Structure 1
Amino acid sequence: MTFKELGISDKLIKGLSELNIKNPTKIQELVISHLMQNEGDLVAQAQTGTGKTAAFGLPILERINPKDDKIQAVILSPTRELAQQIKHQLFKFTKYSDQVFMEVVFGGEKIEKQIQNLKRPTQILVATPGRLNDLIRRKAVDIRDAKLMVLDEADEMLSMGFKKDLEFILNTMKHKKDIWLFSATIPTDIKYIIKQYLDPNAKQIKASGNELVNEKIMHQYVPCDADEKMMVLDYFLKTQKQERGIIFCNTKNAARTLHEQLNARKISTGILEGDMHQKDRDKEMRAFKNKKLDLLIATDVAARGIDVANLAFVVHYEIPKQVDYYVHRSGRTARAGKTGVSMALCTKNEVTQIKKIRQELGIKIKEVPFG
């Protein structure tokens, strides 16, 4: 189906076309076709990089009443990077449409400035849970009349410790609202949120098996000994030439060690790990986004919400213990219709985990011999 057939207005389609977004992705088609014809709650499984911002963003923009300057929709996101990206994308979609007033609020910036900004007309508010909680308690923002709440990357929000913030925010809004929950995985905590706050008859759009993982990603693994991993990684990076990517480790110590090893080899590499100060994290992300660095080493929690265009690969230097971490990691490549490689370096013990991931996700992970 085309965006026009899904019910999207010509002005928004013109904005999409300028961004080279011509045809809806699978998740966009499923979600938009439902939301343009139905009110009510929604649970959608959608991996990052599959176009879910447009999937919920376009129906929101179609629902905004231009004559009402109050907050009509709230979009919650796990990280400041993703929150900023969502606002930026929605703004681009509306280039040829009536003006929609949007604000974004997140931790790590002076709250006084954000309070001042919220005094302006705001129809869509994009926020991280912790900062929105703070603003509500200070009575600096009123979301009680919002008709719509989007929980984007809900599983990441909960894994980052935002459960209490999320519950406070949901309890603050009036009972009559639509909640659209997007999550790559549906763990126990997400099931609790769904049961507690969403309608029992909420529409379920579930991706299962390999539909959960972007089909544009080529999955591979190399069996090797632990002391061979650096050699294998070095070889793989040379095959990638000037391409850019992210290397994942399970722990902060492993990430720091690898960072030191690569820089000692004159391979300019950034790092994101949990103990870093926000200003240092921002500095590394700016360097990576501005292409001053081709590689970034990250732990799973520190990498939440990363969205960098045109990454050719991700490397699992250590295999994640949880299947959903593999999904999130791999989703950093092959975004916006492009292709990418997800490469895992596996010791004998880790091969078992790779086989489990392959079985649970129903995807092909090809063994690539080294040497």
Structure 2
Amino acid sequence: MSLFESMGLRSEILSAIQDLGFIEPTPIQEKAVPFLLESDQDMVALAQTGTGKTAAFGLPIIQQIDTNIKAPQALILSPTRELAMQIANDLSNFSKNLGKINIAVLYGGADIRKQITALEKGAQVVVGTPGRTLDLIKRGKLRVNEIQWLVLDEADEMLSMGFKDDLDGILKDTPAEKQTLLFSATMPSEIVSIANTYMSDPYEISVGKKNTGSENVEHHYYLIHAKDRYLALKRVADINPNIYGIIFCRTRMETKEVADKLMQDGYNADALHGDLSQAQRDHVMARFRGKHLQMLVATDVAARGLDVNDLTHVINYNLPDDPEVYIHRSGRTGRAGKKGISITLIHLREKGKLRDVERKIGKKFVKVNVPQGKEICEKQLFNLIDKVEKVEVNDEQIAPFMPVIYKKLSWLDREDLIKHFVWVEFNRFLTYYEGAKDINVDENGYDERRDGRDDRKDRKDRKNSSRPERGGKGRRGDYQFSRFFFSLGKKNGISKRSIIDMINQQMPGKSVEIGSIEVLKGFSFFEVDNRFEKDAIKAFKNARFKGQKVNIEIANHKK
């Protein structure tokens, strides 16, 4: 008898998950499923993404749904459209043999009339994003006053995306006697606050330590000069010819630039950022999920809620300011028991920030040298030979062309034929890496004077940008920035990441270059491309962060 069978799940559900390839439960499933089948106590579950959380709450809920009641019995909230759709799809697969369970999925950017129709047909399980869910509650189309289960999935992400007010608006209409299930990868103070406010003596399940990275992920870093960041990225891709990963960048502009460079250089890559329409985003994600793309370049905001299996690598083009962001990034690989690698590209002045992340995740990063040209060429060569050796040849399709091919190549002996073939396929790597320099930085023998020369232009730009100009504007590189006073600071839970996220969320569809960000105890400053000065003021007019009103105004530039 398997552990799934011993949990008391119905035969129809066991059959469905067997068809899905479920063999043994994951740790979170092993702990949560029996508990939720036997108890109506609230529960807090701490586990990384990709640990099987949907089945952990979905299987027991599906089993206990009363199919005779044509009204919402379970409400599952997730931070993004993609995750909501994935959860709904998984629940449909789990319940396919039950036949009578209706599932509605609610999210913005789609026809609300179709979602209302799905509710009116008697949806017993509702999966939604907070904004659209609250909208339908206010319209009187979704009634949550009799739900028995409320699930907050990726709760920390929902809070970091500014959904606190929406969650409050939804939860106030739910019955006190419901069972509330909170799933989160990290346990910041805001999650503790939600648990204390909306849950009654919750039972806690933890898979691994709080706020730590996945056990299946190796954490590597490459130490380079900042100017060599893109060169290092290409070498990482070249030394891993079968890479299937996400490259995280800080801003939408950087995401576009990196993805464009990769595509121009012949790599199988594309970008995911806030300027894409929903149709464009769906197209990119379909290609990536289908493995027609090897590398997806994305911002943290754009990548939220993506549920993609079998990623071999996560690459941090920049080290995030918030260690918890790193936890979420790295947790996208090494899932479902598989191994993964999280790579971070840093320069020497970021070593302190790297140590902060190490302390947060409870793991040491391994310094790895950026591969040299000879090493990359060797790896690519043998990868090519492996492909040739293992390719399946369709004799019937190729047969008509072979006589001409044999005749054309008859003058070459076996050894020369192999050499010609390898050279045609392999020449670009040999040519590109011929004489390629070593871009590694030696931590011990680091030449600060040399680095100073490398970064002299950056320092000059920073110096120039600090000179006041009319209207609180400063110039850096090719951009002229407007500097804003931001009314919240560290004591309000603000970080650099929070401000970047808010700019992206409050100004969707706009490609806004973000300048320097300074977070102080009670307030902050940030810069954006001055072409968007009026847009920023308008966008932040009614903005809130974790329930707190945000005020911004043009600041006098630093002197």
- Give the Cα separation in 1 of the matches to 2:308 and 2:230: 25
The answer to whether the 8 A contact 2:49-2:331 is kept is yes
**Pairing 1:127-146 to 2, within 5 Å after superposition:** 127-146=128-147
The answer to whether the 8 A contact 1:102-1:126 is kept is yes
Partner of 1:79 in structure 2?
80
More helix by share: 2
* 1:210/1:224 CA distance change after superposition, 3 Å: farther
Partner of 2:98 in structure 1?
97
Partner of 1:355 in structure 2?
355
Structure 2: any 5+ residue segments left out of the alignment? 373-559
Partner of 1:369 in structure 2?
369
SS of residue paired to 2:44:
strand
Give the C-alpha shift of residue 93 in structure 1. 1.4
Partner of 2:498 in structure 1?
none
Partner of 2:220 in structure 1?
220
Asked if 1:65 is matched to 2:66, the reply is yes
Give the C-alpha shift of residue 64 in structure 1. 0.9
- Give the Cα separation in 2 of the matches to 1:169 and 1:77: 13
- Give the Cα separation in 2 of the matches to 1:204 and 1:210: 11
* 1:9/1:365 CA distance change after superposition, 3 Å: farther
Partner of 1:109 in structure 2?
110
1:235-263 CA-partner distances (Å, limit 9, x unpaired): 11112213311000122232222123222
Partner of 2:340 in structure 1?
340
Partner of 1:285 in structure 2?
285
- Give the Cα separation in 2 of the matches to 1:327 and 1:194: 21
Bigger CA radius of gyration: 2
Higher mean alpha-carbon deviation, 138-147 vs 286-295, is at: 286-295
1:85-131 CA-partner distances (Å, limit 9, x unpaired): 01111111123335321111111101111112211121111111111
The answer to whether the 8 A contact 1:53-1:86 is kept is yes
Corresponding letter in the other structure for 2:250: N
**Pairing 1:191-206 to 2, within 5 Å after superposition:** 191-199=192-200, 201-206=201-206
Task: Give the TM-score, by structure 2 length.
Answer: 0.64
Give the C-alpha shift of residue 6 in structure 1. 2.5
1:290-339 CA-partner distances (Å, limit 9, x unpaired): 33322111111111001123221110111111111111111222233322
- Give the Cα separation in 2 of the matches to 1:107 and 1:210: 32
* 1:364/1:8 CA distance change after superposition, 3 Å: farther
Corresponding letter in the other structure for 2:8: G
Task: Give the TM-score, by structure 1 length.
Answer: 0.94
Superposed CA RMSD in Å reads 1.8
SS of residue paired to 1:221:
strand
- Give the Cα separation in 2 of the matches to 1:96 and 1:211: 37
Give the aligned length. 370
Corresponding letter in the other structure for 1:299: T
The answer to whether the 8 A contact 2:27-2:207 is kept is no
SS of residue paired to 1:140:
coil
Partner of 1:238 in structure 2?
238
Give the C-alpha shift of residue 13 in structure 1. 1.7
Where relative contact order (Cα < 8 A, 6+ residues apart) is larger, the structure is 1
* 1:276/1:108 CA distance change after superposition, 3 Å: same
- Give the Cα separation in 2 of the matches to 1:10 and 1:355: 50
SS of residue paired to 1:4:
helix
SS of residue paired to 1:357:
helix
The answer to whether the 8 A contact 1:43-1:205 is kept is yes
Partner of 2:501 in structure 1?
none
SS of residue paired to 1:134:
helix
The answer to whether the 8 A contact 2:154-2:184 is kept is yes
1:149-173 CA-partner distances (Å, limit 9, x unpaired): 0000011111112111111110011
Give the C-alpha shift of residue 269 in structure 1. 1.9
- Give the Cα separation in 2 of the matches to 1:253 and 1:74: 37
- Give the Cα separation in 1 of the matches to 2:268 and 2:77: 34
**Pairing 1:177-188 to 2, within 5 Å after superposition:** 177-188=178-189
- Give the Cα separation in 2 of the matches to 1:59 and 1:13: 12
Asked if 1:301 is matched to 2:301, the reply is yes
> What percentage of residue pairs aligned between the two structures are identical?
39
- Give the Cα separation in 1 of the matches to 2:336 and 2:96: 20
The answer to whether the 8 A contact 1:50-1:214 is kept is no
Give the C-alpha shift of residue 36 in structure 1. 2.1
The answer to whether the 8 A contact 1:210-1:363 is kept is no
Corresponding letter in the other structure for 2:338: K
Partner of 2:151 in structure 1?
150
Give the C-alpha shift of residue 18 in structure 1. 1.4
- Give the Cα separation in 2 of the matches to 1:275 and 1:221: 30
Give the C-alpha shift of residue 207 in structure 1. 4.1
* 1:159/1:214 CA distance change after superposition, 3 Å: same
Corresponding letter in the other structure for 1:154: A
Corresponding letter in the other structure for 2:228: E
The answer to whether the 8 A contact 2:211-2:360 is kept is no
Give the C-alpha shift of residue 208 in structure 1. 4.8
